[in-house]
């Protein structure tokens, strides 16, 4: 589940002078549940203005202030990796990864635009590098309003393609994973008494 999580609890160093700029993907894609703000996944935050600025700023919830996607913290990722440009939201994650990846910090890779996956060799290269290094990666896809996206664990599914070293093959396998997510049932949510409930 793509939930807005605080980065402040982890010791993540942000790339100096790198700013979110006009990107507000997290304000659309992620589920937010904190004091004074409850938002279902894949729904535009009602505090977001037409110009893309937060209507609560500078008094926005601390959870929002402390959240940063992985692009803000990984200096090796170019400006093209800003989520609204790459159409991929990359997050540090501590999922319930299967053995032998249990307990490790990995990546949640949320695909925002399926049509751009096949030719996204930067994504293929990044995923291949993580898998080679034993970093757990989970792919997330599904953009229906109020529904949590489905997920696929990539390390096993992409192992053969990664070993081939061919970005085209890796991209094809990532697209297959997206297609699997697309067909999987999604968890619907509602807001009841100020809380998000799975239905």
With pLDDT > 90 as the criterion, what percentage of the chain qualifies?
81
pTM: 0.91
Say what the pLDDT of residue 10 is: 52
* Burial class (CB within 10 angstroms; exposed 0-12, middle 13-18, buried 19+) of 110: buried
Task: Give the number of other Cβ atoms within 10 Å of residue 136's Cβ.
Answer: 23
Q: In the chain, which stretches have pLDDT less than 50?
A: 1-9
Say what the pLDDT of residue 154 is: 97
Say what the pLDDT of residue 60 is: 86
Q: What is the mean pLDDT of the chain?
A: 92
Summarised one tens digit per residue, pLDDT across range 156-187 is 999 999 999 999 999 999 999 999 999 999 99
């Amino acid at each position: 589940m793509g939930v807005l999580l605080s980065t402040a609890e982890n010791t993540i160093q942000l790339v100096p002078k790198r700013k979110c700029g006009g990107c507000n993907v997290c304000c659309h894609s992620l589920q937010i549940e904190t004091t004074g703000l409850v938002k279902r996944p894949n729904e535009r935050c009602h505090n977001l203005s037409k110009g893309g600025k937060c209507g609560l700023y500078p008094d926005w919830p601390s959870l929002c202030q402390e959240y940063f996607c992985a692009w803000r913290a990984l200096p090796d990722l170019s400006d093209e990796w800003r989520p609204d440009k790459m159409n991929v939201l990359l997050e540090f994650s501590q999922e319930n990864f299967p053995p032998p990846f249990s307990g490790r910090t990995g990546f949640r890779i949320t695909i925002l635009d399926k049509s751009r996956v096949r030719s996204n060799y930067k994504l293929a290269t990044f995923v291949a590098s993580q898998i080679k290094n034993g970093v757990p990666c989970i792919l997330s896809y599904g953009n229906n309003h109020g529904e949590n996206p489905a997920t696929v664990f990539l390390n096993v599914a992409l192992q053969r393609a990664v070993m081939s070293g061919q970005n085209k093959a890796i991209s094809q396998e990532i697209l297959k994973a997206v297609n699997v997510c697309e067909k999987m049932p999604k968890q619907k949510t509602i807001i009841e008494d100020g809380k998000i409930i799975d239905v």
